[in-house]
Amino acid sequence: MMTGMNTDTCDPAEAAALREIFASRPEAVPPAGWEAVRSFEARHGIVLPEPYRTFVAEICDGLRAGPPYYGLLPFAQTPRDWSPYFAERRLAEPFPLTAAWLWEEEDEPELEARQDAVFEHGSLLLGTDGCGMYWTLIVTGPQRGHVWMIAEHGAIPFGTSLMPGTPGFTGWVSHWAEGRSWYGDD
């Protein structure tokens, strides 16, 4: 299990790094503000993890162009290609995984219910790279603050040997801002 991130307090160095990355991006959406963030949190029974919480309140609430490929979503939106099958988002329910899971290789009786929980519980959608590949920020459970790729065949955490980089939202943003490959082949 990945640990070591402070998701309760925004590190000034992380906020500064995010401000620098997004200052030069004309496609950046203005920040949502603290009132909108607190209202969203109250409605869903969660507190967004830092530094993402400060990011959407004070720095930027999405990108109209990628990355991810189709842009960084404003914090309260879902991508256009998000399946209506997974329409009900339960952010207060803990995200069920702590390690990568490739369900296409499994045949278990509760597979569908477990997959549904991965798609519906404890994660906020950050954006899509198309073809059913969704970037999510985990907002509840042991992986709170980590970014995961959830796709039709499985779920992989960013910042591990399968998808190298610095874990967390700032690490994920810095990774794509540097133009690096998600899979460590750059």
CATH assignment at residue 26: 3.40.1580
Please, is 42 exposed, middle or buried when counting C-beta atoms within 10 Å of its C-beta (0-12, 13-18, 19+)?
Answer: exposed
* Highest mean pLDDT, choosing among 77-86, 88-97, 109-118: 88-97
1 lies in some domain: no
Question: Is residue 185 one of the residues assigned to a domain?
Answer: no
Rounded to whole angstroms, how far apart are CA atoms 113 and 18? 36
Q: Return the pLDDT at 65.
A: 85
- Are 35 and 179 contacting, i.e. CB atoms less than 8 angstroms apart? no
Percentage above 70 pLDDT, the chain: 91
The answer on pLDDT for 123 being more than 90 is yes
In a domain, 100, yes or no: yes
pLDDT value for 124: 94
For 154-167, write each residue's pLDDT tens digit: 999 999 988 999 99
The answer to whether residue 144 sits within a structural domain is: yes
Q: Residue 186: pLDDT band by 50, 70, 90 thresholds?
A: low
Q: What pTM, to 2 d.p., does this model score?
A: 0.91
Does residue 153 lie in a domain region? yes
Whole-number pLDDT of residue 182: 76
Q: In the chain, how many domains are there?
A: 1
Domain membership of residue 29 (yes or no) is yes
Query: pLDDT exceeding 90 applies to what percent of the chain?
Result: 58
Distance (Å, whole) CA 165 – CA 186: 12
Give the mean model confidence (pLDDT) for residues 51-58.
97
Indicate the SS3 state at residue 59: helix
176, 127 in Cβ contact below 8 A?
A: no
**pLDDT mean across residues, the chain:** 88
Query: For the residues 16-34, what does the mean pLDDT come to?
Result: 94
Does residue 172 surpass a pLDDT of 80?
yes
Domain boundaries, position 70: 12-76+85-177
The mean pLDDT of 13-26, rounded to a whole number, is 93
Which has more confidence, 25 or 83?
25
* 122 token code pair: 């404890």
> What are the tokens at 65?
């162009």
**What pLDDT is recorded for position 79?**
75
Local confidence band at 113 (pLDDT 50, 70, 90 cut-offs):
confident
User: Is the distance from CB of 172 to CB of 154 less than 8 angstroms?
Assistant: no
Residue 114 maps to a domain: yes
